[in-house]
Structure 1
Amino acid sequence: MANVSKKVSWSGRDRDDEEAAPLLRRTARPGGGTPLLNGAGPGAARQSPHAALFRIGQMSNVELDDELLDPDMDPPHPFPKEIPHNEKLLSLKYEAFRTVEIKRWVICALIGILTGLVACFIDIVVENLAGLKYRVIKGNIDKFTEKGGLSFSLLLWATLNAAFVLVGSVIVAFIEPVAAGSGIPQIKCFLNGVKIPHVVRLKTLVIKVSGVILSVVGGLAVGKEGPMIHSGSVIAAGISQGRSTSLKRDFKIFEYFRRDTEKRDFVSAGAAAGVSAAFGAPVGGVLFSLEEGASFWNQFLTWRIFFASMISTFTLNFVLSIYHGNMWDLSSPGLINFGRFDSEKMAYTIHEIPVFIAMGVVGGVLGAVFNALNYWLTMFRIRYIHRPCLQVVEAMLVAAVTATVAFVLIYSSRDCQPLQGGSMSYPLQLFCADGEYNSMAAAFFNTPEKSVVSLFHDPPGSYNPLTLGLFTLVYFFLACWTYGLTVSAGVFIPSLLIGAAWGRLFGISLSYLTGAAIWADPGKYALMGAAAQLGGIVRMTLSLTVIMMEATSNVTYGFPIMLVLMTAKIVGDVFIEGLYDMHIQLQSVPFLHWEAPVTSHSLTAREVMSTPVTCLRRREKVGVIVDVLSDTASNHNGFPVVEHADDTQPARLQGLILRSQLIVLLKHKVFVERSAMGLVQRRLRLKDFRDAYPRFPPIQSIHVSQDERECTMDLSEFMNPSPYTVPQEASLPRVFKLFRALGLRHLVVVDNRNQVSRGAEGAGVPCRAPLCLLPVLTLSSRQGTLRHGIQHPVRPCPMATSLPSPALSSGDVLKPPRPPACAAPATHKAGSSTGRRELTRGPLWPGLVLQVVGLVTRKDLARYRLGKGGLEELSLAQT
């Protein structure tokens, strides 16, 4: 069989080598045999004649990820008999790994249960608090309608709204600002591989849940469904780690999953469970996680995410059924129930297809206008309303204005409709006759979810065109103004409400103009308008189609909804990107899309890489490591490790080590010391790294004495010996695809002048490395030009050359575990050792000589986008 060093991962997906835990290497014992993963000795191999034998190589990753070795090449060194830090790993049997897989399913079940319970809590509290508020205001309005003095009712309404929003805004602005908004852009970034500070902490969950309750009860043009996605993600991130860093409680469970790759998978399940709880759409939740969230996907992950979504909607359904007194009637699958659409009464014909396409165009245009207005409003807030106190004042102002505008429209409206039993939760009569209610109040004087259901299912004639037109116009601007406030709120329900209003108006207009019975029911046009408006704003297609179908319990309108959403997305993308992508860009997050910009084929890795690259020796002084980590100019989180060499013996690339790993090593004082046995270094357990994850201490908090600075640290036991590399002439789309598909954090760029060393015949000739500077990107006018700022000087990097040999194609991607020999520019502080770092052949790839010329990071790839004038370079620090 192929020489495979199998580091088992039962998630069925290749793992990011750079995100893995520390790497361990030990010198092989003389005469030692090859250890087997299925047992600690050869006897274990005989337990099953068909059992696969997995070798532990010279450098083994204790995190059990997949690593493929070239079967045609012999291992450079004998395999060790045992790995001192890995005895427990070698004794694991298949049952242990099967237990890990079972734990994954248990965690997904817990995610679904807790997400459903949180959704129940939000729904019950909102229903009771909002009901109390509307009953108080309704009683006051009914009282003063006869006596006069409705201004007091207006003051009461505005005061109550502002009070609720005041509390909700204060806790967000002063306690946890990351809880603002729906949280969907932040979760998209997290699943894309970007760590947003505090985004999945317990405190964020508490503030998010409290804030969304207060925002909805405060009467803002928001919904509680969007934040459920963020809430589910936080729950998943916490449950999967088996501890709470906020509460400083470690339950000693699920320790295996304390790493980024596992955590990201569970957060995907949490996001899907949030969608499922919000809309009662488990399949839609899975598709949402795939379409909008997860960057890395596999079949096993699909099943687990679907399981979490299913458990979430069942938990919500069961608990709400008990709360409403119908324990065995599972009729509340989500926070919002659009109601059942009768297929017979609301059938559509082929003649309506052009109408649905036209509605998609309208939704795309209105969505683009919404996003453009919100973009300029957000830019204004970034510049002028950045202080927390001003943010709270703005939120209170919006709440008061919303109440005032709603009251004025209700007061001015004379659209009176006959009151039907149970059709209104809080009917306002005002100046209507007995037995009638004000239809404008049906839209404004209610929670947004109930207003959407009213527009979907109220019979024809329940709203006149003027009422719908005014409501659409006013609520459009209120929702645009509200999104981006320092409150926890979502945009799903406001978008549906706006679209349902103008969609119903669209249907009424068709019926009035044609007089045909086919346009008789405006409810289906309200549904199409809601889908068009939401699709035009957030630009979701597949997942939103399924969500709408599951929420309406009707597959009849599957094709029209698809048609409307596709049209809205195509039209909207002509003008501006989706709302979530726009806010991700405004937050200067290095977000990687599915594909590189279509016009980026002319760019190469050399043009987008970050230089200079700070290197560390395999045995490096502690003081040098501390200085490198303390240097803000060395802002990349991965450092190439090179072997120390003098002027006559070139250095060679040994691997890559992460900043977080160096922090843990410094914290535990893993220094090389002299003893009776010679030079020894303290051992670390895998648990030490897992305990530090994810809140690694800052370098400033680690005390290193002057004597300790003179000690050395052997990095070879903890580094990644096989970083991915790419030639500097590789095109940006190729680099992008490699970076995206493998989930990389760093990608080493090498020189394309491959040389073959022929023993003594190869003479080392130093050459000068390009004195590139770390780009400081700024968006320059409309051309999107790039300006560079000087960060720190870089020392030239010599390269050993020899007789030429057949070179690899510039487009070939070099993959591990045979790392090329290389050296990289290094930056040292005063007092650190200096000297040239030269290049020789690699230890695992004999004869191949490559020069490291840079490092591609996420920011380098994320700063390019396709603009109207072509490819543009964005600033990731402009805000």
Structure 2
Amino acid sequence: MRDFAEDEGHDRNDCTDDATNSYRRRVSSNACPPPESEGSGVRFCGDVHCVATSPDAVGSLDLLSQKYESLDYDMIENQLYLEERKRTAYTGVRRTELIRWVTIFIIGVLTALTACVIVVFVELLSRYKYQKLKQFVDRCAHSDHPYCILVPYGLWLAMNAIPVTLGSALVTYVAPIAAGSGIPVIKCYLNGIKVPEVVRIKTYFAKLVGVVLSVAGGLACGKEGPMIHCGSVIAAGVSQGKSTTFAKDFKVMQEFRDDREKRDFVSAGAAAGVAAAFGAPVGGVLFSLEEGASFWNQTLTWRIFFCSMVSTFTLNLILSAYHLHPGQLSYAGLLNFGQFGPADFNYNIAELPLYAAMGAIGGLTGAAYNYLNHRLTVFRIRYLHRPALKVAEAATVAMATATIGFLMIVYIRDCHTEVKENTVEYPVRYQCPEGEYSVMGALWFNTPEASLRNLFHNVEGTWRPESLAMFTVIYYGLSCWTYGLSVSSGLFIPALLVGAAWGRLVGIGMKALFPTQDWVSPGKFALIGAAANLGGIVRMTISLTVILIEATGNLTFGLPIMITLITAKWVGDMFGEGIYDIHIQLSSIPFLGWEPPYGASNIYASEVMSSPVTTFKACEKVGVIIDALESQSHNGFP
């Protein structure tokens, strides 16, 4: 204020009308979007909330909530800060930097340990579940009793409903912010929005236990998305050296207790989660850059890459020992695409238009998925907002999944000879001759990750086109119904599985058209379809390309994957936004995008401010400022 007064010829204590008017234009304690046209059902109240006055307005993309506060990422260089910097010796700076790198290392190790816990428990629970179901189904294959098959059906219902109900109750009643994949809320946090309880320790445990129960319960979901949230929570907790949930302060890491430092560590934790989920350390760095952080620098890139490498290596080391191959380092992440042969990646320039066309199909299917899920989420916001109803819906979806899988196994008689090239962990021989197994049973009696590997690597002729097409349509609907439930679940695996299914159908069609061509490989088209479908839903390009390249372990197929993802994004963006952006808007979080919306430059402050406007003078007493801040509900100030 000294410079202002001296330059303008005013006394420092002279609060002029011009200064007051300037602050009137800049500071509003009651900013709200402009009123909608009459009949829209939306009413914007003056000083408390923006309220929907009709059911049609609930779930609108035009409403913002005022319950969120902003994180302070700017460095405040006041006199106290400058004096403290002068007192800090160079040895103190080096000590702080060393502690920072040690903290990054600990975050990577703990994120990998979390991934190990998830993958081991999902594997153990799924193995017990599907072995029991296989025993009962095979027993009925040799039984003459017409209602024998109802026994494994009832057991399947119970084995789906019980863990999903427990997981949903944990999320709904303990940590509601742990629902879903967690990527949208972490994206908001890194954008500078303080989402309540997003990085609490109770959120971590609800996420960890919930995703194990969701996947073991047979929902159409994956465990990769929640790993990103878990890594972020670990980073936030370790870097602060305290726990708000347990009200415990360990008196360590106190030099990192500001929003700026915490944000950088959370970025590293999110990248470590991606690296642990997909075995893709470079993809983790690019994911944090593309989808997460709004603030970036070169030093942060190196730290995040180090954290991702530590997470990948630690997970690799532990899982190799768990699978009785210590030191082999062949288990890079939670998601394993399996080994693709050289023939799977042979392609020429003439195939690129076909991959672009598949990308366009993925953009269309992704846009339809996002639209349907948006309408379903609006329905949930309006009518299923009570906790008991949320748990009941999750249990209903779990039982519906078991019922649909049971009906497809019973009524679709698609059998295939057992061959060593096909990896079938739980072959079901219901209604199949000796030496054959039900391919529908192989798809349903498995985790989604294992079914995805089967679609990539099983030999030609494993599925009939009509049975695979039916599975594609049904699983597409189930995955759309599942995403948004009050459970901890991921989107990546079901999206990849649906895309791999219709991509394999394309491969079957191409093989029928060109039976003698060596470049036609169903597994290759399944991979392209998986990339196209996932890209059309989430609209990621750079990071998803690198993640898929690292997951397949082959760089030569990078160009087809990139063309597919870019086309899917272009086509999908013509119809709407990605699924994460949609859910951010449905949560009424005031997320600030990279670019302002079209026509925003023509909007004046007076058009979005309510009246009366709360203002500050250019020179104001501290007590007046405190009273205004305590009495007003608005949380965003210029």
TM-score bin, normalised by smaller chain: 0.7 to 0.9
Name the amino acid aligned to 2:128.
L
Q: 1:330-363 deviations in whole A, cap 9, x for unaligned?
A: 0000001111222345301112111101100110
Distance 1:568 1:626, change over 3 A: same
Q: Which residue of 2 aligns with 1:504?
A: 504
| Distance (Å, rounded) in 1 between the aligned partners of 2:228 and 2:71 | 29
Are the equivalent residues in 2 in contact too, given 1:278–1:336 (CA < 8 A)? yes
Measure how far apart 1:18 and its partner are.
5.6
Alignment correspondent of 2:90: 94
Answer 1 or 2: which has greater strand percent.
1
Q: CA deviation at 1:214?
A: 0.2
For residues 274 and 71 of structure 2, the distance between their equivalents in structure 1, rounded to whole angstroms, comes to 31
Cα RMSD after superposing both structures: 2.0
Using the alignment, how far apart are the partners of 1:572 and 1:519 within structure 2? 28
Aligned to 2:194, what secondary structure does the other structure show? coil
- Contact 2:500–2:526 (Cα < 8 Å) also in 1: yes
Alpha-carbon offset, residue 101 of structure 1: 1.8
CA contact (8 A) 1:628 1:634 kept: no
Structure 1 residues 117 and 554, CA gap change in structure 2 (3 angstroms): same
Q: Render the CA deviation track for 1:264-300: whole Å, top value 9, x for unaligned.
A: 1111111100000000000000000000000000000
- Residue by residue over 1:449-468, the C-alpha shift from the partner in whole angstroms, topping out at 9 and shown as x without a partner, is 00111100111111111121
By how many angstroms is 1:143 displaced? Answer: 1.4
Partner amino acid, structure 1, of 2:387: P
Residues 234, 440 of structure 1: CA spacing in aligned structure 2 closer, same or farther, 3 A cutoff?
A: same
Higher radius of gyration, 1 or 2: 1
Q: Deviations over 1:128-149 (max 9, x none)?
A: 0111011111111111222231
Look up the equivalent residue of 2:106 and give its one-letter code: L
CA contact (8 A) 1:507 1:519 kept: no
In 2 relative to 1, CA 380–345 (structure 1 residues): closer, same or farther, beyond 3 Å? closer
Specify the SS of the correspondent of 1:517. Answer: coil
Q: Look up the match of 1:585.
A: 585
Distance in 2, Cα, partners of 1:369 & 1:188:
23
Q: Secondary structure at the match of 1:341?
A: coil
- For residues 285-296 of structure 1, the aligned pairs below 5 Å read 285-296=284-295
- Residue 528, structure 1, aligned to residue 528, structure 2: yes
- CA separation of 1:17 and 1:497: change in aligned 2, threshold 3 A: closer
SS in 2 for 1:581: helix
**TM-score after normalising by structure 2:** 0.85
Q: Secondary structure at the match of 1:437?
A: strand
Matched residue type, 1:189:
C
Structure 2 match to 1:825: none
Which amino acid in 2 is paired with 1:557? Answer: F
TM-score by length of 1: 0.62
Deviation at 1:379, TM superposition (A): 0.3
The 5 Å alignment of 1:190-229 reads 190-229=189-228
Structure 1 residues 416 and 94, CA gap change in structure 2 (3 angstroms)? same
Residue aligning to 1:341: 340
The offset of 1:616, in angstroms, is 7.5
Residue in structure 2 matched with residue 237 of structure 1 by the alignment: 236
Q: Which residue of 2 aligns with 1:412?
A: 411
Partner Cα separation in structure 2 for residue 172 and residue 22 of structure 1? 38
Q: Which letter maps to 1:570?
A: W
Q: What are the Cα deviations for residues 127-170 of structure 1, in whole angstroms up to 9, with x where unaligned?
A: 00111011111111111222231011111101110001010010
Residues 82-112 of structure 1: per-residue CA shift (max 9 Å, x gap): x6xx4xx533212211222222211111110
Deviations 1:591-642, CA, capped at 9 Å, x for gaps: 11112224433335565567724437977475x56643442x44135xxxxx
Deviation at 1:438, TM superposition (A): 0.6
The change in CA–CA distance for 1:95 and 1:273 in structure 2 (over 3 A counts) is: same
- The one-letter code matched in structure 1 to 2:616 is C
1:615 aligns with 2:620: no
User: 1:331 — aligned with what?
Assistant: 330
The secondary structure found in structure 1 opposite 2:79 is strand
User: Does residue 108 of structure 2 align to residue 112 of structure 1?
Assistant: yes
Give the Cα–Cα distance (whole angstroms) in 1 for the partners of residues 99 and 619 of structure 2.
38
Q: Does 1:60 align with 2:59?
A: no
Is the contact made by 1:416 and 1:437 (CA closer than 8 Å) also made in structure 2? yes
AA matched with 2:417: P
Secondary structure in structure 1 of the residue aligned to 2:574: helix
CA contact (8 A) 1:223 1:489 kept: yes
**Relative contact order (C-alpha < 8 Å, sep 6+): which is higher?**
2
2:323 maps to amino acid: H
Would the alpha carbon gap of residues 609 and 110 (structure 1) be closer, same or farther in structure 2, given more than 3 Å must change? farther
1:307 aligned partner = 306
Asked if 1:273 is matched to 2:285, the reply is no
The percent of aligned pairs where both chains have the same amino acid is 54
Q: Tell me which amino acid in the other structure corresponds to 1:299.
A: Q
* Aligned partner of residue 417 in structure 1, secondary structure: strand
Letter in 2 for 1:452: L
Q: Summarize the alignment of residues 411-430 of structure 1 with structure 2, pairs less than 5 Å apart.
A: 411-421=410-420, 423-430=423-430
- Residue aligning to 1:282: 281
Indicate the SS of the match to 1:510: helix
Task: Decide which of 99, 124, 128 is 2:124's aligned counterpart.
Answer: 128
Cα distance in 1, alignment partners of residues 244 and 386 from structure 2: 28
Deviation per residue, 1:516-569 (Å, 9 max, x gap): 414532000000000000000000000000000000000111000000000000
Mapped to 1, the partners of 2:447 and 2:440 lie a distance apart of: 13
Alignment partner of 1:494 is 2:494: yes
Unmatched 5+ stretches in structure 1: 1-15, 24-58, 65-82, 638-745, 748-879
CA distance in 1 between counterparts of 2:73 and 2:324 reads 49
CA distance in 1, matches of 2:156, 2:248: 43
Distance 1:19 1:424, change over 3 A: closer
- SS at the partner of 2:342? coil
CA contact (8 A) 1:20 1:61 kept: no
* Superposed CA offset, 1:368-405 (max 9, x none): 00000000000000000000000011000000000000
Where does 1:752-791 land on structure 2 (aligned, <5 Å)?
none
Structure 1 equivalent of residue 401 of structure 2: 402
Tell me, yes or no, if the aligned pair for 2:320 and 2:326 is still in contact at 8 Å.
yes
Corresponding residue number in structure 2 for 1:177: 176
Mapping 1:355-504, distance limit 5 Å: 355-421=354-420, 423-504=423-504
Q: CA deviation at 1:246?
A: 1.7
Is the alpha carbon distance of 1:609 and 1:561 closer, same or farther for their aligned partners in structure 2, counting shifts above 3 Å?
A: farther
Judging changes above 3 Å, is the alpha-carbon distance between structure 1 residues 61 and 450 closer, same or farther for their aligned structure 2 residues? farther
Q: Which moved more, 1:612-621 or 1:371-380?
A: 612-621
Secondary structure of the residue that 1:215 maps to in structure 2? helix
Query: Which amino acid in 2 is paired with 1:101?
Result: E
Distance in 1 between the 2:608 and 2:325 partners? 61
Q: Is the 8 A contact 2:72 2:192 kept in 1?
A: no
Between the aligned partners of 1:636 and 1:245, the Cα distance in structure 2 is 22
Name the aligned partner's letter for residue 60 of structure 1.
Q
Pair 1:150-2:149 in alignment? yes
Matches within 5 A, 1:861-872: none
Tell me how many residue pairs correspond in the alignment: 564
Hey, what's the Cα distance between the residues in 2 that align with 1:188 and 1:588? 14
Question: Which residue of structure 2 aligns with residue 42 of structure 1?
Answer: none
User: Aligned pair in 2 of structure 1 residues 18, 178: CA closer, same or farther (>3 Å)?
Assistant: closer
Structure 2 letter corresponding to 1:143: R
Counterpart of 1:375 in structure 2: which amino acid? Answer: H
Deviations 1:704-762 (A, max 9, x none): xxxxxxxxxxxxxxxxxxxxxxxxxxxxxxxxxxxxxxxxxx43xxxxxxxxxxxxxxx
Aligned to 1:553: 553
The one-letter code of the counterpart of 2:265 is: F
Aligned in 2, Cα 1:132/1:20: closer, same or farther, shift over 3 Å?
A: same
CA distance in 1, matches of 2:525, 2:257: 48
The residue type equivalent to 1:586 in the other structure is L
The SS at the match of 1:181 is coil
Q: Secondary structure at the match of 2:193?
A: coil
More helix per residue = 2
- Matching residue of 2:38: none
Q: Which runs of 5+ in 2 are unaligned?
A: 1-69
CA distance in 2, matches of 1:221, 1:581: 21
For the 8 Å contact 1:241–1:263, the answer to whether it is kept is: yes
Counterpart Cα distance in 2 of 1:123 and 1:636: 41
